[in-house]
Amino acid sequence: SQTIHQWPATLVQPVGSPLSLECTVEGTSNPNLYWYRQAAGRGLQLLFYSVGIGQISSEVPQNLSASRPQDRQFILSSKKLLLSDSGFYLCAWSPPWGQENTGELFFGEGSRLTVL
């Protein structure tokens, strides 16, 4: 069966510090991968998605970046965090386009980032 893990689960970082959140998927190959952010009490905002290794599409311009160095690994990074980067970050995967699937997204447990 497929599983998705992301870490760290929580972190507190000072303004201006770097960020690295990691997400890995197991039990599937060539998944579509996604990073979402959820501010306190708000809905989910799509940040990045990837349909393959090295292929990243950005939905929102900001000081965050994403990378996909391996098929089932998705990393969210920042060189200098802002206060507004605080939130709940969620990684998700879906089967690749073309395969029989419902388009369902499977979400990780989330990473709660507080920038002070």
Partner 1 sequence: DAKTTQPNSMESNEEEPVHLPCNHSTISGTDYIHWYRQLPSQGPEYVIHGLTSNVNNRMASLAIAEDRKSSTLILHRATLRDAAVYYCTKRGNNAGNMLTFGGGTRLMVKP
The binding site for partner 1 (CB under 8 A) comprises: 32, 34, 36, 42-46, 49, 51, 57, 59, 88, 90, 92, 94-95, 97, 101-110, 112
DSSP string, 28-46: -SS-EEEEEEE-TT--EEE
Between residues 45 and 62, which has the closer beta carbon with respect to partner 1? Answer: 45
8 A C-beta contact, residue 26 and residue 3: yes
CB of 51 to partner 1, least distance (A): 5
Least distance in Å: CB of 16 to partner 1?
Answer: 27
The residue among 12 and 105 lying less far from partner 1, judged by its C-beta, is 105
